[in-house]
Chain A
Amino acid sequence: MDDLNVKNQPVLKQFVPTPPRPPHKSERGILGTIRHRCFNSIGNSLLTLCVATVLFYLVKHVLDWAVFNAVFIADNRRQCMDISPDSACWAGVISWFNGLIYGRFPVDEQWRVNIGVLLGLVWLLPLMSKRIPLRNFILLSWIGLYPFVGGYLFLGGRFGEELGLVHGAMTCLALAFLAIIYANWILSALGKKGLNELFVPLVSRLVERRIHLLSFVAVWLLVALVIASGLSQVSLEPVPIERWGGLFLTFIIAGFAITMAIPVGVILALGRRSKLPVIHWLSMTVIELVRSVPLITVLFMAVTLLPIFLPADMEFNKLTQVLVAVCLFAGAYMAENIRGGLQAIPKGQYEAAATLGLGYLHTMVLIILPQALRMMIPNIMTSFISLLKDTTLVSIIGLFDIMLMARNIANDKDWVGMHTEPLVMISVLFFILCYSMSQYSLNLEKRLKVDR
């Protein structure tokens, strides 16, 4: 608008800044830059040389140890030592690789873990496409339904026997939902109506309101029944939770913490911002208490106090206790992030929502929370990264996550005393995971800034 006005007035000249002068000849080009920034004074030159020398020897030694002199094929640690005594013995890590990833999950059943993880990723894939309507529901369905499918695949068992009826039914519903998502995606790409519209003509004759919803439910139930009849024919070998381990268990704990952190955090943050004194004080107490104690004490508390404070006939395995603790812990930290976002929302947004006649719930869900969460994405990602790192703590209370599996290699009779290589290997793994998460969050931050 302003630009147009300016152009229409012939009197005003547009301001054209003088282009900056090019840098001095000695500072141009790569060599110039290096000279200008690394060797511009005696002190700086010395510093550069020192750092370069240290860096050279560091990189050389690390590469010698980890790659050039390392042993990749050997039967035990003694052989490794014979071949090359002062360098890495990756053969041990390679022979334990399966254990590091799957823990003590039976080898014949490990395909189920792969399928389960793959299914989880496939479920989230439609989120990438902007074509699909109601993408938030896919995320919600993932949070609400995927755990049942995962639980079925990882635990195994027959429907109605080892596997509870409710769990079985939910698994079928979840798989049916996934099938409908994909069918709709394909159909919409072909330009046809979604699968959930299948019964619309039929339903519209029977009832007047909520035709689309009822049609969707009918299709969903039908598909679920088909899947149930299929699944009841197969039976998966039951795998007790105690045998879960390795990176797989780390992912389960981290994934659970990450997915539960947001809902718990939102509830606690809204509670803390509430004007009702009871709710405000309760939320604040919970947040502050949990945030001021170390995670390891919360884990100890879950493992030792939950059995005391809950009825004797309620039996929990260690994983459930840990998940409860991690969920509480993650929620309290997330609540503070979300509260920061809530505080940054201008008062006008609340007033505008009130003017439109929205109640508390609608104001929050439709107006405030989407903005607050978006604003806090970098902090939320930082919390997720530290949650992923913190999952290693469960090894202290004896869950066989990747950390404990890695430490166990040193107790194997073939690889006695091999500490360094497994630790380096999982360090690199965590580094890759966390670094890519932080880079993704930076990327997301930039993209959202452009959007606004």
Chain B
Amino acid sequence: MIQSSTSKPQKSPTKGTGLPSSTTQKWMFLLNNDSSRAVILQAIVLVLVLFGLWFLFANASENLNRLGMTFGFDFLQVTAGFNISWSLIPYDPGMSYWRVFLVGIVNTLILSFCVIVVGTLIGTVVGILRLSDNPLVSQLARWYVEVVRNVPLLIQIIFWFTVVFSTLPAPRQSYHLGEWLFLNNRGLYVMTMESTLSWGWIVALGVALIAALYGLFRWSKPYYTLSGSRSTGFYIGLAVWALVACWAIWTFLNSTSLSVPSLQGFNFSGGAFLPASFGAAFVAMTVYRSAAIAETVRAGMQSIDRGQHEAAFTIGFSRVQSLRLILIPQAIRSIIPPMTNSWLAATKDSSLAVAIGFPELVSVFMQTSMNQTGRAIEIIFMVMGFYIFISLLISYLLNKYNDSVQYKVR
């Protein structure tokens, strides 16, 4: 379009219309000038987009009027009135739609967090096995990746749910591990500890203990790097830390009682419960993610010059040592950006658990709540806003981390 407008004036005299009129000349001048053309083009695009938005908006308000619906977020305070099969935060049908939204978010986050952690671990191992010298091992890893990667995730989720988890025995014939773990077609029941202390205190104490240990190591590091051995102060500190830790664990154990799942009627009570849909979604997504991450890790490892590997071998490092000290620290630089994308994809993929009825955000909010309230616009924008927020957050954090591990060019 731009090109034709510049070439036209040269051709126009051949048409024999004589001199162009003064107004045309003025317009041509505007079109042939780079900056004015840019302004005109952008103005046209802007007007078109604004017109499009206005068109959509006008239609929406007209359609909403016609259907007798209103736009607004007041419905979030209304009582939801439906049950959610599993929720990490307390929920009952008397709570509001806002609570439903939060339940969906927490369930989505917990599912994707588990998938990311376990999937990354398995994926890293498989990716390294893929480079093994043993052809049997490397081919096994290769075909694991190929099979998992080339079958749609949705099929895998439904496969795990209908073929594996739903065919487990009924609660009365559960598979069990002693008295503290029961697996049946409803899900997994695990023994838990219930404490009279509040969980906030316990978590705070645990975090403080870990932080203190980290601080101790950090504080003694300069001496250690200089002398090769730890200072006396470090050992005293460690002893004090161990005493405090023992005291903390002792008080914690004293205050807790075990909650054992036990069969009552047709179902279990007590302990913690993970529904079968969570299990199926978790296993399928972890397997799928691990295959993607294995490929990332393999590509990262192969991007390192072979000489690095040989040099590590030459100075007598074992396979594990060369991986830990030479190869992985270098591979991490090229692995992190695709890994970030993989983790983002895992978060987005968690929405597929809707297909087997796991109560995550899309399922509880975009399906059940939307069907009940009919507030399609608000709900869809809230859900999308959540995913966009998570994406931006993860990519921001990982960009920060990525900056810190890249080569420092001085």
Contact = CB atoms under 8 A, between A and B. Distances in A.
Interface in A62-102: none
| Interface class of chain B by DSSP | helix
Nearest to A424: B159
B56 A309 contact: yes
A308 B375 CA distance: 11
A278 B46 CA distance: 7
A308 B377 CA distance: 9
Interface stretch (B89-97, B99-107, B147-155, B254-262): B147-155
Contacts of B377: 305, 308
Contact of B387 (A48, A293, A359, A389): A293
Contact of A37 (B62, B134, B163): B134
Interface string B317-354: 00000000000000000000000000010001101101
B163 A423 contact: yes
A443 interface: no
A392 interface: yes
A295 B384 CA distance: 11
A127 interface: no
A67 to B, nearest CB: 17
Contacts of B370: 304
Interface residues of B, number: 59
A47 B163 contact: no
Interface stretch (A193-201, A212-220, A425-433): A425-433
A301 B354 contact: no
Interface in A333-384: 358-362
Nearest to B161: A419
Contacts of A358: 3
A304 B152 CA distance: 25
A107 interface: no
Interface in B352-395: 352, 354-355, 362, 366, 370, 376-377, 380, 383-384, 387-388, 390-392
B339 to A, nearest CB: 16
Interface in B121-161: 133-137, 140, 146-147, 149-156, 158-159
B150 A430 contact: yes
Contact of A304 (B1, B149, B376): B376
Interface stretch (B37-45, B192-200, B225-233): B37-45
B150 A308 contact: no
A403 interface: yes
Contacts of A52: 136
A166 interface: no
B380 A395 contact: no
Contacts of A430: 150-152, 155
A332 to B, nearest CB: 13
Interface string B391-407: 11000000000000000
A297 B3 contact: no
A360 B146 CA distance: 42
A296 interface: yes
B323 to A, nearest CB: 15
With a 10 A CB-CB cut-off, give which of A47, A292, A295, A419 has the most chain B CB atoms.
A292
Interface residues of A, number: 58
A47 B134 contact: yes
A294 B45 contact: no
B348 A389 contact: no
A291 B394 CA distance: 14
A221 interface: no
Contacts of A292: 344, 348, 387-388, 390-392
Contacts of B7: 359
A359 B34 CA distance: 11
B101 to A, nearest CB: 14
A289 interface: yes
B158 A407 contact: yes
Contacts of A29: none
B56 to A, nearest CB: 4
A151 interface: no
Nearest to A40: B133
28 contacts: A38-B134, A44-B134, A51-B140, A292-B344, A292-B387, A292-B388, A292-B390, A293-B388, A300-B366, A300-B380, A301-B380, A301-B384, A308-B63, A308-B376, A311-B62, A359-B6, A360-B3, A389-B151, A390-B152, A395-B154, A396-B154, A396-B352, A407-B158, A410-B162, A419-B163, A423-B163, A431-B147, A435-B146
Closest 10 CB pairs of A and B: A359-B3, A292-B391, A434-B150, A389-B152, A294-B348, A278-B42, A419-B162, A294-B351, A304-B376, A309-B56
